[in-house]
Structures are given as C-alpha cells and as structure tokens.
Chains A and B, each alone.
Chain A
Amino acid sequence: MKGEKQATGDQQPKITLAPKVNDFSLTICTVNGSGSTTANNTLYRALFRMGIPVSGKNIFPSNIKGLPTWFAIRISKDGYLARVAHDDIIVAMNPKTFAEDLDYCVPGGVVFYADHINLPVQREDIITYPMPIKELIKKADVPRNLRDYMANMLYVGIVSQMLGICMESIQQVLRFQFISKPSVADSNYETVLIGAKWAKANLEKKDRYSVATMPALKDHIMADGNTAGALGALYGGVEFCGWYPITPATSMVESMMFFAPQLRKDPKTDKETYVIEQAEDELAAIGMVCGAGWAGLRSMTSTSGPGLSLMTEYLGLAYYAEIPVVVWDVQRVGPSTGLPTRTGQGDLTMSYFLGHGDTDHIILIPGSVNECFEFGWQAFDFAERFQTPILILSDLDLGMNQWMTKRFIYPDKPIDRGKVLWEEDLERLKGEWGRYQDVDGDGIPYRTLMGNKDPRAAYFARGTGHDEYGKYSENPQIWKAMLDRIKRKFETARSILPNPVLRKKNGAKIGLIAMGSTDPAVFEAQDLLVQAGLATDYLRIRAIPFSDEVKHFILAHECNYVLELNRDGQLHQILTLNYQELSGKMISLSISDGMPMTAAWVQTQVMEKENK
C-alpha cells in the first residue's frame, strides 16, 4: 500500500541500539470516518510547538467511512520534510490492515496496537506495546456516541508519554483546535491524560525513540497549500471565483469562503468585494471565470485533472481572445478518475499543450506552501499583465497536507492591473486604439472593459479569427500575424516569471532538475548523495515558459536527471522539446504510484544510473 516494504530482519530487537532523538517516522493506521484526524493533528502540531521540524501526510481513501487511512508523521531535527517509505513507529488501530502495516516497520521499530486487535504479531524484531483502549475508554466515562472518537485521544496520551511529547503542548494544541469550545478541549485533554497515566504506570520503555524540545520555530507556521493559495488569491485581489467541487481542489475554495468575509468586506460599507459562485460543472465554472476576466475582474477557479479536461475549450478561447484568468490545478493521479485521493504531477504535459490549435500557457509550479501563497497573489498580476490564462500546478500532497512552512510574506509589489484603457485614456488617445494592436512591441495589446462609457471603447470579443480591431477576419496574413504576435507575449513573460531556485554543492558535475512538491525529497537526496560521495546541483523549476537560467543549468552539467511524479517524465519531455540540442544531457527519472516522492528513491535511482 505504501510503496517499498521493509525486509524483516532475523535478529531480535536490540534494546541496546543507539537512542534516536527527534529523528524518526511514525504512522498511525486507522479507519476513515473514525474521527482520528483531530487526534493525529494534535500529536503532529504538538511536535511542531516543541520546535521540532515535522511533516505529516494523510494517506486517505476516496471514501467517506470505513476504509483504511494512514497518517504518516516524520520528525526530523535536520528539517527534512519528505516522506519516508518505512516506519520506525506504528500506531495500529485498524485490525484489517494490521498484518500489512507491520511489514513497513523497521527492525528495532515499535508497534503500539489497540489490544482488541486479536491478531498475532508475526515479527520478532520489533517492540510491541499493547494498548487496552476499550477498558480505558470505559474508565474515561465518555458518552457512548463519543467512544470511538475519544479512543483516538487515548493513543495520543499513550504515545506522547512513551516518546516524551510535552503535555503542555498537547493542551495548547487542543485549545487551539477547539478555540471556540474550551470545554471540548478540556474533555479531550482529560482523555489524553488517562492514556498517559496508564502508560506511565504500565509500560516499560524498551525502544530507542524519543523527542526533545528544540528552539522555537519562530518564522514558521503550519498550513496546507490550498489554504495558502486561497489566502494568496484574497491578498491578490480576487474578485470572482467560479468553481465546481473536486478532490483535492475543493478545500481551496472552501478556505476562500471561510476567509473572504473577514478579509474582503469593504471597510466603509461592510459589503463584499468578491463573488464566489459554485457552478453547475467545470464547463460553466470556466465560462464564468472567462466572462469575469474579460470584463475586468480578477478571476479564478480551482480544479483538478478531470475538471481541467473539461475547461480546456474555454481556456483555448481565453488564450486566443486574450483574457486574464487564473486556474489552479491541484493535481491528483490520472488518467481518468484515477486515484482521486493520491498525489502526482501528471497534468504538466496537458497544461503545457492545453487546447486545440497552437497555444502557449504560462504555468506556475509552487514547491512549498509558502509559494502557494506567493503565486496565489502574483498569478493575477501575471494574468492581467499578459492577458492570458495562468495555470498553477499544485498537487494533493502540497494542497491538502499540513506543512511546516515559512510565514506568509505580504505582497512586495503593488497590484498590477495591466494595460487597461478607461474613459480618460481614450480621450487622450482621441479614440485611436485597436484591441489587438501591439503598440509597445512586447506583444501585449491594450484592452477596454465593459462599462467604459466612451462610445469608442467597445469591441466584440470572439474566439473566431479577428484583426487588430477585433473584427471578424479569415485573412491569411492577419491570422498569421495575430498568432505570431501572441507568441511574443510568452517571450516577454520568460524573464518576468518566477526564477528557478538553485541549490549548489561543491564541485558538482551532475544536475538534478525537479518541480513542485517533490522539493523536500530532492533536497534531502542531494545531501544523501553527498554522503554517498556524489555531489549534485539542484534546480527547481517554478515557471514555464522557462527562463534562460534553465538552459544555462543544463549546459553547465555533464548530465541532468529530471525527477518527477508521473509515468512518462513529462517535465523531461517539455525540456527536451525546448532544448532539443541539449536532449543528450537530460535523463528522465519519474515515478507514478500515487505517493509523494522519497529521498531514498531519488538516491537509488541516481546512483543506479551513475553505476555507483
């Protein structure tokens, strides 16, 4: 289920193994719909409050209740946030997956298990702690309907006691999670304490894992990419959002609905400065968004692969009629309905070529939650500056998981509304203007907006062939000139879009190229490779069309590994198309199994290719 399994060691657990402090992984195995989310988040956030770098991944089914769910926490004093495929510690609450879950435990690892799981523990090389959940819950005197839910709080108490997670942090987190219901926070905490007390009195510590407080992570926050994207949009001045629910994009608009009333009501009148409209489908969502963008609103939608497929025709029109819109694709795994609750980077090629005929699209690829915020507001400036759709490719891992990330930074540039002519501008130009004229030589024309009262302002927008004034035309020269001019916009964009991020290692001759949410895995792999004697430089691409730095990077390295989460190596394909003369310098390393990339995978793949 979770990728590579552990080879079971023959040896007995050695209690004498060196202690591991703030450096291990822990997976909680439950059933979805059992209310374990609050418990898992409590553990997770308590660790963060102790100043320990953590990452958490919710691996969940496309289902509402009854199927297995895993919550994998990685604790890393060195700040590595990527997924690891093995587990040091397992908290087993789901009898159905128990046997399989054990397979992922490392030799010398630990299993906490609810003792109603009446199954043999087949492994002799791990340490087991049974937890009398049923019995304890009876003692806890919780109402019958809350028993399952509270059982989760018991493992929070037991695990915290055994690992040394600070009870005060747990209490703070619960108060934060139930900010408006202090009594609920208190009753949860009492249950946690029952678990902790029992563990203290009954379990003898035999394993090597523990946590210890570190200096506070002051410049960090904990957030998910979808919330970050929504906040970015709200600070970017979004005025219209048309959308249709789809995992894993839904929570972006839901966050927007949550935050918009507090952030975007007009201070003077208390009225709204935004519209969020749930459409009847993605065909309509993007139609609304194109209409709004055309009429001068900062306009966006958020969707995932199947939705983007449906939006394609309108986005092609937006490309050719030059309409600013922002489209978030929070990627899941395709083709087809695929794995709706798993992560991937499989929509890159589709986004790059989106639409029939010749098209170009600006694609932004955030690699952290913080960048989701940043690109969230910047995208509107780019859309209006270049008068074209901006596609932002996030993914489920980035969008839906809670990440430790840098604090959001307030936009450092004023809002750029692009080239718009209002009444006074037309007056100044004596009405001399053409919607699709390239006056400034950058390929970007001027536009007027519906509502402009000057009789010379109006033009007729269309997806059919048109001349510089927007008038219908089938003239071959005009058609060609128009399409060539549009292409120039993307040349202009190349140097203005977010630059790639470079991380160099001394003496590296090998390049690693990646994008988006695989950043933590590639970052960590770079360090692992140095330890294994292989220095690499790492370039994280953040935007397409590529800036010249990408080419320079490829040129500067003997060999470049392009790492990504899809079957066909889509980034590699696009790089090869762009730099055909350098194609011999690029090797594709890609995987699509629905899981976030691990550093170990990167390391193994690169070492294999390097014959090391």
Chain B
Amino acid sequence: MNEKPAAQVEVNAAGLSRGDYQGEPSTLCPGCGHNTISSQILTACYELNLIPEQIVKFSGIGCSSKSPTYFLKRSFGFNGLHGRMPSLALGALFADRTIKGIGISGDGDTASIGFGQFKHIIRRNMPMVYIIENNGVYGLTKGQFSATAEKGLELKHQGRNPYIPIDLAKEALISGASFVARSFSGDAKQVRELIKAAISHYGTAVIDIISPCVTFNNREDTLHSYVWGRQHEAPLHDISYVPYRKAILLGEFEEGTTQEVKLHDGSVVILKKLETDYDPTDKWHALRILEEAEMNRWLITGLIYINPTQPTLFDFHDLVDQPLNRLEVDRIRPDAESLEKLNDSMY
C-alpha cells in the first residue's frame, strides 16, 4: 500500500517521508502565522513517527480553521461550523479511541461564538489537541476585532477597541484544563515541541498560539504582531519532547535545570526551567504567572500547566475495547428474546 520512498528520500522510524505528511498547497496569505503552525504540526507528526491514518483533524470556521487542509492529507478531517469544532470532535473521537484528534480553531472561533464549547470540552478533558491560532482579529471576514484583541487597539475600519481582551490560556486554566501552553507562531521550535507534548498528552491539550495576521492585524505595537511578539516574548522554559524509547537523549539536558513530567502514553516531557522556581504542575503558580504577565504586558510562552493524571471523558465511559465504529452488527442489536421479556413487563 505504501509506496516505498526512493532511497535518497529521508524517512522517519515509521518509514514515512515528510511528503507523507503534507497537505494541499496553502491558500492563506503569504506570511500568515497560521502557515508556520501548519508546517510545525506536520513536522511534529513526522518527528513523532505518527502514521497519518492515526490522526484526525477538526476545525471550525476562519482562516485558521481552513488550515487543516494544508497538512496531513492522508488523515481524515472535518471542517465543521463556526465555534463548534469541539462538539464535532467529541462525537467523532468516540468512534475509534485509538485515533489522535487535532482541533484547529481561531480566536474568533474559540473566544466568541465557540466560547461555551471551548470551556466544556476542557471540562470534560476530552483527549485531543486544541490549537488556537490567535491573531486578535477575524481574518476571514476581513479584520474585525476579536475578543482577544487588546484594549485600545486601533484598526483601519474598526476604530478603537474599548474592551479588555480575553486571555485564552487563563480561561483554559480556570476551566480545569489538564494541559495549557502558549507559544508564538514565529518560534518554530517551541511551537513544534509544544505540539509534540500536546499530542502525547492524554486529555484536552490547549495551545494558544499567537499567530499574526499579516493582512489585518500586524501593526508593530500590537500584542499579536510579529515585531511585538519577538521583542516581548518571555519564554517560561525551553521544552523538549522526547519519546520514551529514545529516553537516552535525556543526557542532553543539564542536570538541575530540568524537570520531567510523565505523560499518559509513557513518554516524558522534559522542561528546562528558565525561572528556577517555576513548576508547571502547580496551578496556583500558573495563574499567578499569567496575572503578572498581563500586568506587565508580557507574552508568557511555554508549558504553563500540566496534569497528566486528570481523568478524561473516555474514563467516564466503560466502553468495549474495539473501535465502536467497527462493532459487528450482532453486537449492537439485542436478541429477540430480550424484546419479548420487555413486552411482557409493559402492561
């Protein structure tokens, strides 16, 4: 079935080349932050040796939500409705619990119309990756303010934004998320490593990625712009994802500055702390860091919070092991005798 790649093409441990992870050519604006994220998702999956058929993509509506077409062509995907990617993913992922779900959303998609579904998927701790490509505007509808836009921001046709922005990382945290991270689309390495960690996490893994819209929101002084992002990024810690079977790589990290978080699938995230007292398993500390960052107008990036043992929605259902969508018909229709008994009891 898989065509053998020619000898000179580099392949990963799954025997697949980068080409096997590619999607259709992007139709987003050149330079759009969303494109960088797509290519890091692709690279993360390649480096994790995931088979594309083991992944399923979901999205809502927006430029960001269009992007799942631009990576992992060999994976199933579903571009749903505005703000309602989480519910779509939830239903589908029950069909085969061996498949990894990656949800892509925008700040309009998540912080406005889909705010309820965002909070509720987190509350259920549905195992899936939830990436928000956050540019502070509605890109696809041509540049209105989103709910994550900074207060006081001025846009060409919109005037001045009078409202305080919603911080999606903070919202995720207070909703009980088991994995909260933030990054900046321009920091390819960090984005990639966080995506890998998120894929390995068993639970809802939220990554809020600041992803500048080059067309409608890229004034140099705004929170969601490239220039501002690059200058004000305050990485919490470097993060490097290391699959379990290659734990040998641990030697690369300096003693005393690393912290291990064991993920559900047996793999380990190693956090290199820049602030020696930062503990991503301490929720209270995570909240404080975010509050401080807001006061200082910092962009905190990195893995902000993780709880790898929080029960997930799958744990609340006692399901058969086989994928539900492959159950034989005689296992989903009770026998005739049982119906006669029911009939007898109804009088």
- Residue ranges of A at the interface with B (Cβ–Cβ < 8 Å): 45, 48-49, 176, 220-223, 231, 234-240, 242, 259, 263-264, 266, 269, 271-275, 277, 279-281, 283-299, 313-314, 317, 407-408, 410-411, 414-415, 417, 448-464, 471-472
Using A280-B116, A283-B87 as known contacts, say yes or no to A460 and B79 having CB atoms under 8 A apart: yes
Cα–Cα distance between A287 and B89 once the two chains are bound (Å):
8
* From A259, A280, A317, residue with most partner B Cβ within 10 Å: A280
- A313 and chain B: residue at smallest CB distance: B81
Tell me the chain B residues, 103-159 only, with Cβ under 8 Å from chain A: 116-117, 120
Determine whether the beta carbon of A49 is less than 8 Å from that of B53.
no
Q: Tell me the smallest distance from the CB of B222 to a CB of chain A, in Å.
A: 30
Most chain B Cβ neighbours within 10 Å, of A48, A235, A294, A455: A455
Contact assessment for A272 and B318 in the assembled complex, using a CB-CB cutoff below 8 Å: yes
Q: Which residues of A contact B58 (CB under 8 A)?
A: 291
Beta-carbon contact of A411 and B333 below 8 Å: yes
Query: What's the Cα separation between A287 and B109 when bound, in Å?
Result: 15
> By the criterion CB–CB under 8 Å, are A455 and B331 in contact?
no
Given A286-B87, A292-B91, 4 extra CB contacts under 8 A: A234-B334, A240-B95, A450-B325, A455-B74
- Asked if B92 contacts A281 (CB within 8 A), the reply is no
For the complex, count residues of B whose C-beta is within 8 A of A: 60
Residue B278 is within 8 A (CB to CB) of chain A in the complex = no
Also in contact, A236 and B333, with CB within 8 A (given A288-B91, A290-B88): yes
A263 in complex: contacting residue of B69, B98, B338, CB < 8 Å: B338
Question: Is there contact, CB below 8 Å, between A221 and B53?
Answer: no
User: What 5 pairs between A and B have smallest CB-CB spacing?
Assistant: A287-B87, A291-B91, A295-B95, A296-B325, A237-B332
Instruction: Confirm or deny: B329 has a beta carbon within 8 angstroms of a beta carbon on chain A.
Output: yes
Quote the shortest CB–CB distance from A280 to chain B (angstroms). 4
A458 to B327, CA, bound (A): 20
Q: In the complex, what residue of chain A is closest to B337 when comparing beta carbons?
A: A410
Q: How far is the CB of B83 from chain A (nearest CB, A)?
A: 8
Chain A residues in 8 Å Cβ range of B84? 283-284, 287, 314
Which B residues lie within 8 Å of A317 (CB)? 80-81
Selected from B78, B324, B336, the residue in CB contact (under 8 A) with A294 is B78
Question: B79 is contacted by which of A222, A272, A452, A463 (Cβ under 8 Å)?
Answer: A463
30 contacts between A and B (CB under 8 A): A221-B346, A231-B339, A231-B342, A237-B333, A239-B325, A239-B332, A266-B320, A273-B319, A273-B320, A287-B84, A288-B87, A290-B80, A291-B58, A292-B94, A295-B56, A296-B95, A408-B342, A414-B329, A417-B329, A450-B92, A450-B96, A450-B325, A451-B99, A452-B76, A455-B1, A458-B52, A458-B76, A461-B78, A463-B81, A464-B79
Question: Cβ of A288 and Cβ of B78 under 8 Å apart?
Answer: no
- Do A242 and B95 touch (CB < 8 A)? no
Q: Are B321 and A271 in contact (CB under 8 A)?
A: yes
Q: Which residues of A contact B343 (CB under 8 A)?
A: 221, 407-408
Out of B1, B76, B116, name the residue touching A281 (CB < 8 Å).
B116
B68 at the interface (CB under 8 A from A): yes
Asked whether any CB of chain A lies closer than 8 Å to the CB of B90, the reply is yes
- B334: chain A residues within 8 A (beta carbon): 234-235, 263-264
Known contacts being A239-B332, A272-B319, is A287 close to B117, with CB within 8 Å?
yes
Contact, CB under 8 Å: A235 / B333: yes
B326 to chain A minimum Cβ distance, whole angstroms, is 7
* A407 to B345 Cα, complex, angstroms: 11
Residue of B nearest to A402 (CB): B346
Nearest-Cβ distance from residue B337 to partner chain A, whole angstroms:
9
B92 touches A294 (CB 8 A): yes
**A451 lies within 8 A of B332 (CB):** no
Q: Is B281 an interface residue (CB 8 A)?
A: no
Q: What separation, in Å, do the CA atoms of A222 and B321 have in the docked complex? A: 37
- Give Cα A239–Cα B95 distance, bound, in whole angstroms: 9
CB distance from A21 to the nearest CB of B (A): 22
Q: Which B residues touch A222, using CB under 8 A?
A: 346-347
Q: Separation in Å of the B320 CB from the closest CB of chain A?
A: 4
| Cα separation A294 to B88 with both chains bound (whole Å) | 9
Shortest Cβ gap from A180 to chain B (Å): 13
Tell me, rounded to whole Å, the shortest Cβ–Cβ distance linking B116 to chain A.
6
Across the interface, which residues of B come within 8 angstroms of A231, CB to CB?
339, 342
Complex CA–CA separation, A38 to B240 (angstroms): 64
Whether B96 contacts A451 by the Cβ 8 Å rule is yes
Does B73 make an interface contact (CB < 8 A)? yes
Instruction: Say whether A240 contacts B333, CB under 8 Å.
Output: no
Q: State A298–B331 Cα separation when bound (angstroms).
A: 13
Of all chain A residues, the one with the shortest Cβ separation from B91 is A291
With a cutoff of 8 Å between Cβ atoms, the chain B residues found around residue A287 in the complex are: 80-81, 84, 86-88, 90-91, 117
Residues of chain A with a CB closer than 8 A to B318's CB: 271-272
> Quick one: closest A residue to B333, CB to CB?
A237
**Given A222-B347, A291-B89, A458-B53, are A297 and B81 also a contact pair (CB < 8 Å)?**
no
* B77 interface residue per 8 A CB criterion: yes
Given contacts A287-B84, A289-B91, A455-B1, are A271 and B319 in contact (CB under 8 A)? yes
Distance of A228 from chain B, by nearest CB (Å): 9
CA distance A239 to B326 in the complex (A): 11
Contact of B339 with A408 in the complex, beta carbons under 8 Å: yes
Q: Which of B88, B91, B336 is in CB contact (< 8 Å) with A240?
A: B91
Residue of A nearest to B51 (CB): A453
**B320 closest partner in A (C-beta):** A271
